Amino acid sequence: MISKYRGQFNSSFTEQKYKSFLKILESGLTSIPFRVAETPVFIPSDLQKKLIDAGEEIIKLIKQPDFKALTKDAIPSNWNVPNENEHPHFLTFDFGICKDANGLLTPKLIEMQGFPSLYGFQPELGRVYKESYELPAALTPFFNGLDEQKYVSLLKRVIIGDYAPQEVALMDIDAPNQKTAIDFLITQKYLGIKILSLTDIFKEGNALFYKEEGKKIRLKRIYNRLIFDEVEDKTALFEQCFDPRSEIDVEWITHPNWFYRISKYTMPFLKSEFVPETHFLDTLTEIPSDLENYVLKPLFSFAGMGVIIDVTKADIAEIKDPKNWILQRKVVYEPIVQSPDGGVKLEIRLMYLWADGQEPQLCINLARLSRGKMIGVRYNKDFDWVGGTIGLMEK
């Protein structure tokens, strides 16, 4: 997209450089089970500004005094966790990169979450891309004048706060075997916190503990990476550890309810040039005549599961719980990233940190390249120049 960098990168690219890059990225950590793309993305300043503006419009809605009332039905009753705080600590907004009526690049919102993303992996990814491919020092993956040191300092403030690192743990259902384990390990390297599986934690009274070298250690904060979808049919596990929905004396970073409040559920409330027309299915008075231009999405699903891309009236008629679905105008991705053999589609995730007592701050990004119908592993099998990457911008 910044043509001078793209031309330089493509002309000097070799498979050997790519293999060396991957080897350095995994070195001393773990193998990466998801595909990392051959190339970073070079984000031009005009698109960068539009992305920032789009994010700010969404944050205005989230900061409205009535936002919790607006999203009260977003949280499934059986997964409503007590002691919710006033705002999420993480915001991630995914934008498909398209062209507008004037042929200019513009972002269109695809998904949003009040839940952590790869906040450890992305700065490492940006650094290794720059070093492995000898990219200019003037390029950065960070926003708002941040560098790696300032970013890690803010990450510590959000996740650890005033606690000792051993009182804080990153938690997932089976942390060492998650596809995002490399992100967990880098986060631990940055912050010095524990990585715990759900069953590593036990409850005494309302307090939570884990054991290290036979010693019982009180857990004050949980950096929560557990998505309840993954334990919906495994709640028997809670008998071995603790039920996240119970009254417990722990701080959630971020509280699980925000995963639902800031999600596909929020999109029908957004009216912006950067947000595709979106309706709760149960509020539709009539089905659009150009249904081929829409996509049908379940509210409560993860990683694109259940999405119906080529919607028919019969699909809509078969939906038994329309209040839990949205109908959204399709976003037409433009294949704007030039690979050696054609254009590749792009999605950019803006990643914010929201420290207690401060404003949300746009920090870094995650990008994904695709040649398939949708962004995601299952739509990009057997392709090259696809997968996870990062956007680099001129300082």
What's the pLDDT score for residue 380?
67
What's the pLDDT score for residue 304?
60
What's the pLDDT score for residue 195?
98
What's the pLDDT score for residue 230?
86
CA distances from 189 to 28, 59, 90 (A): 11, 30, 20
What's the pLDDT score for residue 1?
83
What's the pLDDT score for residue 383?
85
Regions of the chain where pLDDT drops below 50: none
What's the pLDDT score for residue 302?
61
Is there a single domain that holds both residue 112 and residue 13? yes
For the whole model, what pTM was predicted?
0.95
Is there a single domain that holds both residue 115 and residue 170? no
Is there a single domain that holds both residue 63 and residue 113? yes
What's the pLDDT score for residue 303?
59
What's the pLDDT score for residue 22?
98
Closest CA to 384 of 346, 340, 347: 340
What's the pLDDT score for residue 306?
85
Is there a single domain that holds both residue 196 and residue 223? yes
Contact call for residues 105 and 3 (beta carbons, < 8 A): no
Domain total in the chain: 3
Is there a single domain that holds both residue 271 and residue 281? no
Is there a single domain that holds both residue 136 and residue 235? no
Is there a single domain that holds both residue 227 and residue 360? no
Domain that holds residue 342: 1-143+262-275+335-395
